[in-house]
Structure 1
Amino acid sequence: MKNKYQGNVKAKRVQLQGLRTEFETLRMKSGEAVADFFSRTIVIARKMRIHGEQMQDLTIVEKILRSMTPKFNLVVCSIEESKDIDELSIDELQSSLLVHEQKIIQQDKEEHALKATTDNPSKTSGGRGRGRG
Protein backbone atom coordinates (compact mmCIF):
# COMPACT_ATOMS: atom_id res chain seq x y z
CA MET A 1 0.00 0.00 0.00
CA LYS A 2 2.82 2.39 0.92
CA ASN A 3 4.68 1.78 -2.36
CA LYS A 4 1.50 2.27 -4.36
CA TYR A 5 0.80 5.61 -2.62
CA GLN A 6 4.38 6.85 -3.10
CA GLY A 7 4.17 6.09 -6.82
CA ASN A 8 0.95 8.08 -6.99
CA VAL A 9 2.59 11.03 -5.21
CA LYS A 10 5.53 10.97 -7.60
CA ALA A 11 3.23 10.86 -10.62
CA LYS A 12 1.25 13.81 -9.29
CA ARG A 13 4.46 15.74 -8.65
CA VAL A 14 5.66 15.12 -12.21
CA GLN A 15 2.28 16.18 -13.63
CA LEU A 16 2.30 19.28 -11.46
CA GLN A 17 5.78 20.23 -12.70
CA GLY A 18 4.54 19.96 -16.28
CA LEU A 19 1.51 22.09 -15.48
CA ARG A 20 3.70 24.71 -13.79
CA THR A 21 5.85 24.93 -16.90
CA GLU A 22 2.76 25.23 -19.09
CA PHE A 23 1.35 27.95 -16.81
CA GLU A 24 4.63 29.90 -16.75
CA THR A 25 5.00 29.85 -20.54
CA LEU A 26 1.35 30.59 -21.23
CA ARG A 27 0.84 33.63 -23.50
CA MET A 28 -2.17 35.00 -25.33
CA LYS A 29 -1.93 34.18 -29.03
CA SER A 30 -2.23 36.89 -31.65
CA GLY A 31 -5.85 37.05 -32.76
CA GLU A 32 -7.05 34.91 -29.85
CA ALA A 33 -10.25 36.00 -28.13
CA VAL A 34 -10.08 37.10 -24.50
CA ALA A 35 -12.63 34.45 -23.50
CA ASP A 36 -10.55 31.70 -25.13
CA PHE A 37 -7.37 32.85 -23.40
CA PHE A 38 -9.14 32.97 -20.04
CA SER A 39 -10.50 29.46 -20.61
CA ARG A 40 -7.04 28.07 -21.36
CA THR A 41 -5.59 29.78 -18.31
CA ILE A 42 -8.35 28.66 -15.95
CA VAL A 43 -8.15 25.05 -17.17
CA ILE A 44 -4.42 24.89 -16.42
CA ALA A 45 -4.90 26.57 -13.01
CA ARG A 46 -7.67 24.11 -12.08
CA LYS A 47 -5.51 21.14 -13.03
CA MET A 48 -2.70 22.55 -10.89
CA ARG A 49 -5.07 22.94 -7.92
CA ILE A 50 -6.32 19.38 -8.40
CA HIS A 51 -2.72 18.17 -8.19
CA GLY A 52 -2.16 20.01 -4.92
CA GLU A 53 -0.88 23.45 -5.98
CA GLN A 54 -1.95 26.19 -3.58
CA MET A 55 -2.70 28.81 -6.23
CA GLN A 56 -4.51 32.01 -5.34
CA ASP A 57 -6.69 33.97 -7.75
CA LEU A 58 -4.18 36.84 -7.47
CA THR A 59 -1.54 34.65 -9.14
CA ILE A 60 -3.91 33.94 -12.03
CA VAL A 61 -4.89 37.61 -12.38
CA GLU A 62 -1.25 38.70 -12.45
CA LYS A 63 -0.36 36.00 -14.98
CA ILE A 64 -3.20 37.06 -17.29
CA LEU A 65 -2.19 40.72 -17.09
CA ARG A 66 1.43 39.82 -17.96
CA SER A 67 0.44 37.53 -20.82
CA MET A 68 -1.90 39.68 -22.89
CA THR A 69 -1.00 40.68 -26.45
CA PRO A 70 0.41 44.19 -27.03
CA LYS A 71 -2.92 45.55 -28.27
CA PHE A 72 -4.15 45.25 -24.67
CA ASN A 73 -1.20 47.18 -23.14
CA LEU A 74 -3.21 50.35 -22.56
CA VAL A 75 -6.08 48.62 -20.82
CA VAL A 76 -3.70 46.48 -18.74
CA CYS A 77 -1.90 49.63 -17.56
CA SER A 78 -5.24 51.27 -16.86
CA ILE A 79 -6.43 48.30 -14.80
CA GLU A 80 -3.17 48.14 -12.85
CA GLU A 81 -3.34 51.86 -12.06
CA SER A 82 -7.03 52.19 -11.27
CA LYS A 83 -7.84 48.95 -9.45
CA ASP A 84 -6.47 47.14 -6.47
CA ILE A 85 -5.02 44.02 -8.07
CA ASP A 86 -5.03 42.22 -4.71
CA GLU A 87 -8.83 42.56 -4.59
CA LEU A 88 -9.55 42.13 -8.31
CA SER A 89 -11.42 38.93 -9.11
CA ILE A 90 -10.83 36.89 -12.24
CA ASP A 91 -14.40 37.64 -13.39
CA GLU A 92 -13.93 41.40 -12.98
CA LEU A 93 -10.70 41.26 -14.95
CA GLN A 94 -12.32 39.24 -17.69
CA SER A 95 -15.23 41.69 -17.90
CA SER A 96 -12.88 44.67 -18.24
CA LEU A 97 -10.83 42.97 -20.93
CA LEU A 98 -13.93 41.80 -22.83
CA VAL A 99 -15.26 45.35 -22.96
CA HIS A 100 -11.94 46.56 -24.34
CA GLU A 101 -11.87 43.71 -26.87
CA GLN A 102 -15.35 44.67 -28.09
CA LYS A 103 -14.21 48.27 -28.55
CA ILE A 104 -11.20 47.10 -30.56
CA ILE A 105 -13.40 44.90 -32.74
CA GLN A 106 -15.87 47.74 -33.32
CA GLN A 107 -13.06 50.15 -34.19
CA ASP A 108 -11.57 47.65 -36.64
CA LYS A 109 -14.98 47.21 -38.32
CA GLU A 110 -15.42 50.96 -38.65
CA GLU A 111 -11.92 51.41 -40.09
CA HIS A 112 -12.52 48.54 -42.52
CA ALA A 113 -15.86 50.05 -43.62
CA LEU A 114 -14.27 53.48 -44.06
CA LYS A 115 -11.44 51.99 -46.09
CA ALA A 116 -13.91 50.08 -48.27
CA THR A 117 -15.84 53.27 -49.06
CA THR A 118 -12.68 55.20 -49.96
CA ASP A 119 -11.27 52.36 -52.09
CA ASN A 120 -14.43 52.01 -54.25
CA PRO A 121 -14.84 54.89 -56.70
CA SER A 122 -18.39 56.16 -57.04
CA LYS A 123 -20.28 55.54 -60.24
CA THR A 124 -20.37 59.23 -61.21
CA SER A 125 -16.65 59.89 -60.83
CA GLY A 126 -15.48 57.45 -63.50
CA GLY A 127 -15.89 57.56 -67.25
CA ARG A 128 -16.52 60.67 -69.31
CA GLY A 129 -18.16 62.87 -66.69
CA ARG A 130 -21.14 65.19 -67.03
CA GLY A 131 -19.87 67.42 -69.82
CA ARG A 132 -20.55 67.24 -73.54
CA GLY A 133 -20.33 63.86 -75.09
Structure 2
Amino acid sequence: MAESSFVQPAILEFDGYYDHWAMLMENFLRSKEYWHLVEAKIPEATRATDLTEVQKKAFEDQKLKDLKVKNYLFQAIDKSISETILKKDTAKDIWDSMKQNHQGTAKVKRAHLQALRKEFEILQMRAGESVNEYFARTLTIANKMRIHGEATPDVTIIEKILRSMTPQFNYVVCSIEESNDVDTLSIDQLHSTLLVHEQSYD
Protein backbone atom coordinates (compact mmCIF):
# COMPACT_ATOMS: atom_id res chain seq x y z
CA MET A 1 0.00 0.00 0.00
CA ALA A 2 1.33 3.43 -0.88
CA GLU A 3 2.30 5.66 2.00
CA SER A 4 0.05 8.62 2.76
CA SER A 5 1.15 11.83 1.06
CA PHE A 6 -0.57 14.01 3.69
CA VAL A 7 1.65 16.97 4.55
CA GLN A 8 1.57 18.35 8.07
CA PRO A 9 0.87 22.10 8.24
CA ALA A 10 4.06 24.09 8.72
CA ILE A 11 4.75 26.08 11.86
CA LEU A 12 5.03 29.75 10.94
CA GLU A 13 8.05 31.49 12.41
CA PHE A 14 7.24 34.79 14.12
CA ASP A 15 8.54 37.61 11.90
CA GLY A 16 7.52 40.64 13.94
CA TYR A 17 4.00 40.97 12.51
CA TYR A 18 2.06 39.69 15.51
CA ASP A 19 -1.52 39.79 14.18
CA HIS A 20 -0.66 37.82 11.04
CA TRP A 21 1.43 35.29 12.98
CA ALA A 22 -1.19 34.89 15.70
CA MET A 23 -3.95 34.23 13.15
CA LEU A 24 -1.95 31.50 11.37
CA MET A 25 -0.65 30.01 14.63
CA GLU A 26 -4.19 29.84 16.01
CA ASN A 27 -5.32 28.00 12.87
CA PHE A 28 -2.39 25.60 13.25
CA LEU A 29 -3.22 24.85 16.90
CA ARG A 30 -6.91 24.46 16.09
CA SER A 31 -5.99 21.92 13.40
CA LYS A 32 -4.20 19.96 16.14
CA GLU A 33 -7.18 20.38 18.51
CA TYR A 34 -4.93 22.16 21.04
CA TRP A 35 -6.35 25.70 20.87
CA HIS A 36 -8.39 25.22 24.07
CA LEU A 37 -5.10 25.05 25.99
CA VAL A 38 -4.29 28.61 24.87
CA GLU A 39 -7.80 29.87 25.59
CA ALA A 40 -7.98 28.34 29.06
CA LYS A 41 -4.99 27.65 31.28
CA ILE A 42 -4.60 24.07 32.48
CA PRO A 43 -5.58 23.77 36.16
CA GLU A 44 -2.92 23.89 38.82
CA ALA A 45 -1.87 20.54 40.26
CA THR A 46 -3.61 19.58 43.46
CA ARG A 47 -2.50 17.13 46.11
CA ALA A 48 -2.27 13.62 44.71
CA THR A 49 -4.52 12.36 47.54
CA ASP A 50 -7.31 14.64 46.32
CA LEU A 51 -7.38 13.08 42.85
CA THR A 52 -8.88 9.85 41.67
CA GLU A 53 -6.88 7.71 39.25
CA VAL A 54 -9.07 8.93 36.38
CA GLN A 55 -8.47 12.56 37.40
CA LYS A 56 -4.73 11.97 37.68
CA LYS A 57 -4.63 10.47 34.19
CA ALA A 58 -6.70 13.34 32.78
CA PHE A 59 -4.41 15.89 34.43
CA GLU A 60 -1.25 14.21 33.14
CA ASP A 61 -2.80 14.06 29.65
CA GLN A 62 -3.52 17.81 29.78
CA LYS A 63 0.03 18.51 30.95
CA LEU A 64 1.46 16.50 28.05
CA LYS A 65 -0.71 18.32 25.51
CA ASP A 66 0.24 21.68 27.03
CA LEU A 67 3.90 20.69 26.72
CA LYS A 68 3.37 19.93 23.02
CA VAL A 69 1.79 23.36 22.48
CA LYS A 70 4.70 25.02 24.29
CA ASN A 71 7.07 23.12 21.99
CA TYR A 72 5.20 24.36 18.90
CA LEU A 73 5.37 27.93 20.19
CA PHE A 74 9.09 27.69 20.94
CA GLN A 75 9.70 26.35 17.42
CA ALA A 76 7.94 29.43 16.02
CA ILE A 77 9.76 31.98 18.17
CA ASP A 78 13.29 33.25 17.64
CA LYS A 79 15.86 32.50 20.36
CA SER A 80 16.18 36.17 21.31
CA ILE A 81 12.44 36.26 22.07
CA SER A 82 12.12 32.77 23.54
CA GLU A 83 14.70 33.61 26.21
CA THR A 84 12.22 36.10 27.67
CA ILE A 85 9.47 33.48 28.02
CA LEU A 86 11.39 30.36 29.05
CA LYS A 87 10.04 30.62 32.61
CA LYS A 88 6.41 30.74 31.54
CA ASP A 89 4.67 27.69 32.96
CA THR A 90 1.95 27.03 30.42
CA ALA A 91 1.17 27.53 26.74
CA LYS A 92 -1.39 30.20 27.71
CA ASP A 93 1.30 32.07 29.69
CA ILE A 94 3.55 32.12 26.61
CA TRP A 95 0.71 33.17 24.29
CA ASP A 96 -0.40 35.97 26.62
CA SER A 97 3.19 37.21 26.95
CA MET A 98 3.63 37.30 23.17
CA LYS A 99 0.35 39.18 22.78
CA GLN A 100 1.22 41.73 25.44
CA ASN A 101 4.74 42.36 24.14
CA HIS A 102 4.15 42.29 20.38
CA GLN A 103 0.56 43.13 19.53
CA GLY A 104 1.11 46.74 20.51
CA THR A 105 -1.37 49.32 21.63
CA ALA A 106 -4.08 50.59 19.31
CA LYS A 107 -2.35 53.98 19.24
CA VAL A 108 0.97 52.49 18.10
CA LYS A 109 -0.74 50.35 15.47
CA ARG A 110 -2.63 53.36 14.11
CA ALA A 111 0.61 55.34 13.88
CA HIS A 112 2.33 52.49 12.02
CA LEU A 113 -0.58 52.16 9.60
CA GLN A 114 -0.56 55.91 9.01
CA ALA A 115 3.15 55.74 8.14
CA LEU A 116 2.47 52.90 5.68
CA ARG A 117 -0.38 54.85 4.07
CA LYS A 118 1.95 57.82 3.58
CA GLU A 119 4.65 55.57 2.12
CA PHE A 120 2.08 54.06 -0.29
CA GLU A 121 0.75 57.50 -1.24
CA ILE A 122 4.15 58.93 -2.25
CA LEU A 123 5.36 55.73 -3.92
CA GLN A 124 6.81 56.30 -7.40
CA MET A 125 8.74 54.07 -9.78
CA ARG A 126 12.40 55.07 -9.72
CA ALA A 127 14.45 55.80 -12.83
CA GLY A 128 16.18 52.58 -13.84
CA GLU A 129 13.97 50.43 -11.60
CA SER A 130 12.61 47.29 -13.26
CA VAL A 131 8.94 46.37 -13.40
CA ASN A 132 9.63 43.36 -11.15
CA GLU A 133 11.41 45.52 -8.58
CA TYR A 134 8.68 48.14 -8.53
CA PHE A 135 5.90 45.56 -8.19
CA ALA A 136 7.78 43.88 -5.34
CA ARG A 137 8.23 47.21 -3.54
CA THR A 138 4.59 48.22 -4.02
CA LEU A 139 3.14 44.86 -2.96
CA THR A 140 5.36 44.70 0.12
CA ILE A 141 3.92 48.00 1.38
CA ALA A 142 0.35 47.03 0.40
CA ASN A 143 0.62 43.69 2.20
CA LYS A 144 1.96 45.37 5.34
CA MET A 145 -1.04 47.70 5.25
CA ARG A 146 -3.36 44.70 4.96
CA ILE A 147 -1.66 42.97 7.87
CA HIS A 148 -2.24 46.11 9.95
CA GLY A 149 -5.97 46.03 9.16
CA GLU A 150 -6.21 48.29 6.12
CA ALA A 151 -8.67 47.17 3.44
CA THR A 152 -6.48 47.50 0.35
CA PRO A 153 -8.31 46.01 -2.66
CA ASP A 154 -6.34 44.98 -5.74
CA VAL A 155 -7.87 47.81 -7.78
CA THR A 156 -6.29 50.35 -5.41
CA ILE A 157 -2.87 48.79 -5.99
CA ILE A 158 -3.42 48.63 -9.77
CA GLU A 159 -4.48 52.27 -9.95
CA LYS A 160 -1.48 53.28 -7.84
CA ILE A 161 0.95 51.44 -10.13
CA LEU A 162 -0.62 52.86 -13.29
CA ARG A 163 -0.29 56.46 -12.11
CA SER A 164 3.23 56.11 -10.70
CA MET A 165 5.20 54.51 -13.56
CA THR A 166 8.12 56.30 -15.21
CA PRO A 167 7.44 58.28 -18.45
CA GLN A 168 8.65 55.43 -20.70
CA PHE A 169 5.47 53.54 -19.74
CA ASN A 170 3.06 56.42 -20.55
CA TYR A 171 1.92 54.88 -23.83
CA VAL A 172 1.24 51.40 -22.45
CA VAL A 173 -0.47 52.83 -19.35
CA CYS A 174 -2.87 54.84 -21.56
CA SER A 175 -3.48 51.74 -23.67
CA ILE A 176 -4.26 49.63 -20.60
CA GLU A 177 -6.66 52.23 -19.21
CA GLU A 178 -8.49 52.55 -22.54
CA SER A 179 -8.76 48.84 -23.34
CA ASN A 180 -9.35 47.34 -19.89
CA ASP A 181 -11.82 47.71 -17.06
CA VAL A 182 -9.41 48.48 -14.23
CA ASP A 183 -11.94 47.08 -11.72
CA THR A 184 -11.65 43.62 -13.27
CA LEU A 185 -7.97 43.71 -14.24
CA SER A 186 -5.80 41.48 -12.04
CA ILE A 187 -2.42 42.45 -10.62
CA ASP A 188 -0.86 39.51 -12.47
CA GLN A 189 -2.34 40.66 -15.79
CA LEU A 190 -1.03 44.18 -15.27
CA HIS A 191 2.37 42.81 -14.29
CA SER A 192 2.70 40.65 -17.41
CA THR A 193 1.56 43.47 -19.73
CA LEU A 194 4.10 45.90 -18.29
CA LEU A 195 6.84 43.25 -18.46
CA VAL A 196 6.21 42.74 -22.19
CA HIS A 197 6.41 46.49 -22.73
CA GLU A 198 9.61 46.70 -20.69
CA GLN A 199 11.25 43.88 -22.67
CA SER A 200 10.45 45.61 -25.94
CA TYR A 201 12.82 48.39 -24.85
CA ASP A 202 15.71 46.01 -24.13
* One-letter code aligned to 1:32: E
If each structure's helix is expressed as a fraction of its own residues, which one has the higher value?
1
**C-alpha distance in 2 between matches for 1:82 and 1:7:** 45
Q: Does 1:36 align with 2:133?
A: yes
Give the count of matched residue pairs: 103
Quote the offset at 1:13 in angstroms: 0.3
Residue 110 of structure 2 corresponds to 13
Deviation string 1:3-56 (CA, Å, 9 cap, x unpaired) is x6x962111100000000000000000010000000000000000000000110
Structure 1 ranges of 4+ moved more than 4 A: none
Quote the offset at 1:89 in angstroms: 0.5
TM-score, normalisation: structure 2: 0.49
TM-score, normalisation: structure 1: 0.74
**C-alpha distance in 2 between matches for 1:84 and 1:9:** 37
Which is bigger in relative contact order (C-alpha 8 A, separation at least 6)? 1
Q: Report matched runs for 1:61-100 at 5 Å.
A: 61-100=158-197
**C-alpha distance in 2 between matches for 1:47 and 1:9:** 16
**C-alpha distance in 1 between matches for 2:126 and 2:199:** 17
* One-letter code aligned to 1:92: Q
Quote the offset at 1:102 in angstroms: 0.2
Quote the offset at 1:82 in angstroms: 0.6
The 3 A distance-change label for structure 1 pair 68 and 19 is same
Residue 199 of structure 2 corresponds to 102
**C-alpha distance in 2 between matches for 1:68 and 1:7:** 35
- Please give the root-mean-square deviation of Cα atoms over the aligned residues, in Å: 1.7
1:52 is paired with a residue whose SS is coil
Q: Which runs of 5+ in 1 are unaligned?
A: 106-133
Deviation string 1:53-76 (CA, Å, 9 cap, x unpaired) is 011000000000000000000000
Residue 113 of structure 1 corresponds to none
